[in-house]
């Protein structure tokens, strides 16, 4: 009997130890997160470089254009912005829709185009049935001229095989994802390429947001009833309104010129741009903010000074740059229905001329239609023409009268009025290594943690084995005794 009691005590002790181990390890098992959302991000894709060359080349003699705030990166890659969608960390299912679009036109004859393709609302979908890129499409067949319109047609299959997207968080970046044209993509491209054609790889970066925890709304507070004080009969009337409105909030959006940005970052200048003092990158334009100034509603006169700096550099030789141009603290002036964009200009032009000039009138625009609305005085994509002074500031790259990127700005005449939001490019991506040629792209950020279950199993197995050995020994001892 004594041995039997010792045996029971030892078994109970070992069982308790196993339970303690499991209790310690179990909290480290990550709970499956609820489905979340995609909020912010960008898609960079050049479609197919030979197609772009064909469109703008001597055969098609066409062009391409951007819509909805889309931008270019390095001249040959399109950037689509403001990702929205859903993400399930348990299954890895991802849907991300992007804003902006691109149009292609070529083979003009009698005012009509034999090539006329519009792509917009790109959507990346990845899940159990594979991955693809979809878009709204309007295209004309090259042989028949028949126009086809499709909503969310699958353009390409994405090479995400073998890539585990489960358990991600934060910013998810997929670099150099292989793309292969689908049958519906071939129709969208007017049958210029057959299904199965490899297109350019794409890169996508999206911000994954966890599902918000449900909150219980507090009951509305009951405002105390108050009796307004009596108004004296001789209370003086309010003073007349001041004619000029002072403001201290605003933003100016301007891309300078798309071809200039492409030149700076392209294969010739091989440069970049840097933002400072509050300037921001909107993808297709730069934003300078905040602002201060005044507006006269009686005459339409406006003076608005914005804050920030954009510096363009390129043509590097050693530590020196042949192109080094900064546009700082731009301002807008409007008088008599005519507007002027000014900025401080410093640096060196492509011709090597150094300059440091304040308040250079860079461009002119028609401001006759400017009217306050909703607490804002807002201009949207006003045509802007380069001035003589502006042509000199750019070192003669463009003659006076050249159409620059359109100008947009907004100033808050009512401090409570909200400024137009920037396109959402998502969080700044960290550098990621290039993907291998095949078959899977590189995924960065939001990696999955290793599971503790193997260690739990090992530990539990060890204790169980120890229990069995100890019990066996005691039983044998009991038999011997």
Mean per-residue pLDDT for 102-124?
A: 94
Could you tell me what percent of the chain has a pLDDT over 90?
A: 63
Among candidate residues 152, 181, 209, the one where a domain is terminated: 209
The reply to whether 120 and 259 lie within a common domain is no
**DSSP letter, residue 244:** S
Distance CA 156, CA 124 (A): 10
Instruction: Note the pLDDT tens digit of each residue in 354-384.
Output: 899 999 999 999 999 999 999 999 999 999 9
> How open is the CA angle 187-189-190, to the nearest 5 degrees?
65
The reply to whether 192 and 262 lie within a common domain is no
User: Looking at residue 478, what is its pLDDT?
Assistant: 37
Alpha helix stretches (DSSP H) within 123-251: 183-188
Q: What end-to-end distance do the CA atoms of the chain give, in Å?
A: 12
User: Looking at residue 222, what is its pLDDT?
Assistant: 53
The reply to whether 110 and 170 lie within a common domain is yes
Cis amide linkage into residue 98, ω under 30° from 0: no
The closest alpha carbon to 62, from 117, 100, 140, 121, belongs to 117
Backbone angles phi, psi at 345, to 5 degrees: -120, 125
339 is a domain residue: yes
Both tokens assigned to 417: 């009025």
Q: How many helices (H) and strands (E) are present in the chain, helices listed first?
A: 6, 26
Domain count, the chain: 2
Instruction: Note the pLDDT tens digit of each residue in 211-242.
Output: 766 555 555 555 555 555 555 445 555 555 55
The boundaries of the domain holding residue 360 are: 245-412
467 is a domain residue: no
Q: Is the pLDDT of residue 433 over 80?
A: no
Among candidate residues 362, 378, 412, the one where a domain is terminated: 412
Instruction: Note the pLDDT tens digit of each residue in 196-213.
Output: 999 999 999 999 998 766
With beta carbons less than 8 A apart as the criterion, state whether 309 and 277 touch: yes
Distance CA 377, CA 372 (A): 4
User: Looking at residue 49, what is its pLDDT?
Assistant: 94
The reply to whether 250 and 394 lie within a common domain is yes
316 is a domain residue: yes
Among candidate residues 193, 209, 225, the one where a domain is terminated: 209
252 is a domain residue: yes
The reply to whether 48 and 190 lie within a common domain is yes
Q: Is the dihedral of CA 44, 50, 51, 52 positive or negative?
A: positive
The reply to whether 133 and 267 lie within a common domain is no
The reply to whether 255 and 317 lie within a common domain is yes
> How open is the CA angle 443-447-448, to the nearest 5 degrees?
130
56 is a domain residue: yes
Instruction: Note the pLDDT tens digit of each residue in 2-49.
Output: 545 554 565 555 445 554 444 444 444 444 456 789 999 999 999 999
215 is a domain residue: no
pTM of the prediction? 0.71
The reply to whether 170 and 285 lie within a common domain is no
Mean per-residue pLDDT for 83-89?
A: 96
Q: Is the pLDDT of residue 107 over 60?
A: yes
120 is a domain residue: yes
3-state secondary structure of 82: strand
360 is a domain residue: yes
The reply to whether 272 and 190 lie within a common domain is no
Mean per-residue pLDDT for 420-427?
A: 90
The reply to whether 400 and 268 lie within a common domain is yes
Partner residues linked to 281 by β-bridges: 286
The reply to whether 164 and 44 lie within a common domain is yes
Distance CA 438, CA 244 (A): 64
User: Looking at residue 240, what is its pLDDT?
Assistant: 53
Instruction: Note the pLDDT tens digit of each residue in 434-480.
Output: 333 344 455 664 444 333 333 333 344 443 444 444 434 433 433 33
3-state secondary structure of 243: coil
The reply to whether 257 and 164 lie within a common domain is no
For the chain, helix, strand, coil in percent to 5 are 15, 45, 40
């Amino acid at each position: 009997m004594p041995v039997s009691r010792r045996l029971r005590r030892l078994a109970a002790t070992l069982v308790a130890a196993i339970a303690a181990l499991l209790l310690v390890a179990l909290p480290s098992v990550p709970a499956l997160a609820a489905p979340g959302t995609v909020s912010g991000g960008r898609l960079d894709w050049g479609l197919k470089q030979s197609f772009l060359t064909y469109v703008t080349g001597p055969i098609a003699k066409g062009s391409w254009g951007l819509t909805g705030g889309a931008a270019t990166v390095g001249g040959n890659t399109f950037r689509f912005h403001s990702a929205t969608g859903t993400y399930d960390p348990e299954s890895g299912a991802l849907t991300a829709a992007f804003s902006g679009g691109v149009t292609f036109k070529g083979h003009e004859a009698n005012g009509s185009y034999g090539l006329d393709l519009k792509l917009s609302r790109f959507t990346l979908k990845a899940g159990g049935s594979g991955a693809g890129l979809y878009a709204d499409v309007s295209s004309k067949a090259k042989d028949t001229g028949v126009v086809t319109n499709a909503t969310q047609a699958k353009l390409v299959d994405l090479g995400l095989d073998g890539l585990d997207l489960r358990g991600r968080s934060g910013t998810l970046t997929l670099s150099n994802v292989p793309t292969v044209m689908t049958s519906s993509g071939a129709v969208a491209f007017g049958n210029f390429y057959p299904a199965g054609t490899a297109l350019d790889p794409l890169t996508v970066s999206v911000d994954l947001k966890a599902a918000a925890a449900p909150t219980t709304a507090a009951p509305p507070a009951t405002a105390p009833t108050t009796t307004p004080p009596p108004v004296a009969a001789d209370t003086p009337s309010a003073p007349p309104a001041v004619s000029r409105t002072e403001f201290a909030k605003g933003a100016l959006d301007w891309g300078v010129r798309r071809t200039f940005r492409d030149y700076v970052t392209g294969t010739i200048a091989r440069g970049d741009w840097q933002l400072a003092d509050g300037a921001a990158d909107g993808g297709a334009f730069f934003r300078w903010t905040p602002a201060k100034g005044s507006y006269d509603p009686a005459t339409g006169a406006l003076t608005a000074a914005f804050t920030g700096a954009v510096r363009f550099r390129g043509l590097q030789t050693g530590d020196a740059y042949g192109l080094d141009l900064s546009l700082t603290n731009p301002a807008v002036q409007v008088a008599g229905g005519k507007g002027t964009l000014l900025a401080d200009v410093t640096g060196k032009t492509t011709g090597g001329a150094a300059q440091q000039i304040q308040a250079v009138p860079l461009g002119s625009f028609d401001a006759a239609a400017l009217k306050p609305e909703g607490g804002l005085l807002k201009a949207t994509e006003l045509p802007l023409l380069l001035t003589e002074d502006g042509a000199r500031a750019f070192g003669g790259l463009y003659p006076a009268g050249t159409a620059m990127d359109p100008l947009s700005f907004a100033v808050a005449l009512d401090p409570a009025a909200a400024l137009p939001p920037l396109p959402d490019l998502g969080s700044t991506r960290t550098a990621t290594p290039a993907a291998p040629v095949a078959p899977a792209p590189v995924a960065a950020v939001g990696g999955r943690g290793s599971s503790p279950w193997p260690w739990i199993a090992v530990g539990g197995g060890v204790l169980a084995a120890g229990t069995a050995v100890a019990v066996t020994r005691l039983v044998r001892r009991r038999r011997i005794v």
